[in-house]
Copies of this chain bind each other. A is one copy, B any other.
Amino acid sequence: MKWLAGKLPHDWRQRLYIIIFEADTRPGRLFDLALLIAICLSVLTVVVSSVSAVQDRAGRFMTILEWLFTIAFTLEYIARLVSAHRPMRYALSFYGIIDVISILPTYLAILVPELHGLIDVRMLRLMRAFRILKLTAYVNEAGVLSRALLNARRKIFVFLGFISIVVVIFGTLMHVIEGPEHGFTSIPIGIYWAIVTLTTTGYGDVVPVTGLGKAITGFVMLLGYSVIAIPTGIMGAEIHSVMKEKPVTTRTCVHCLTEGHETDARFCKHCGEPLPPHQTDTAATPIR
């Protein structure tokens, strides 16, 4: 059977599919690793190329590197199109579009030099790294964090709504108190100042000059300093809850047929009859 399968074009596409789209086989994992390294290197190339000193001295080398990465990614895109079960569906998926967008600017900059400003769109290549990370061991950890964020989303919206109203009101207040002569030229600038101050960033490009303005500034800073406790408290409690969630087991009581008994239970918690011994099941280990 095996020698036959090797000759079928279908099987060739299938194998390519497994290498490119999955990460359960050794070649698949190697491909993902190579792709991740290529993505990071190509992003590094874009970053370093933007330094004028590098551009002056090694501009030619950077251009060659950039073309190498673009060609490699183009080949990868074609391979994905060829091996995908439904090429159109892949091409129109989120990652399919990101894949195109991250190679197009290099070609466009050659064809239509006026579009050279779009060259930094290549940085979207970074987004492709997420696809690979989705397949790794870190997905569980990211899962805990995103589940906690999901549980906390309403509380965080309430918090951000409160912050928004605070910065708008204090931004307006400082616009009125300090006025354009002290740099608060408009309410948007006042809001910008309020965000800079409330988040305790403190650039120092717009600062209060009058006594009243300084007193209000002090209040806003203390508010921001105290209020950061709220999202932190929310996330702390949610991450704690998510981490403590019991693993779902499928242990079933043979007497009353209830499911979900804990891994260390010895008796049914519903009817009191002894449970059959528990087979250690990797899927039932707590997410940590």
Contact = CB atoms under 8 A, between A and B. Distances in A.
Interface string A223-246: 011101111111111111101000
Number of copies: 4
Interface residues of A, number: 87
From DSSP, what is the main secondary structure of chain A's interface residues?
A: helix
Interface string A205-220: 1010001001101100
A20 interface: no
A141 B158 contact: yes
A47 B237 contact: no
A120 B229 contact: no
A120 B232 contact: no
A200 B199 contact: yes
Contact of A236 (B214, B222, B237): B237
A186 B200 CA distance: 23
A250 interface: no
Interface stretch (A73-81, A95-103, A147-155, A277-285): A147-155
Contacts of A117: 176
A16 interface: no
16 contacts: A46-B172, A47-B188, A51-B186, A117-B176, A123-B168, A123-B169, A138-B157, A141-B157, A142-B158, A188-B214, A192-B217, A228-B232, A232-B232, A233-B235, A233-B240, A237-B240
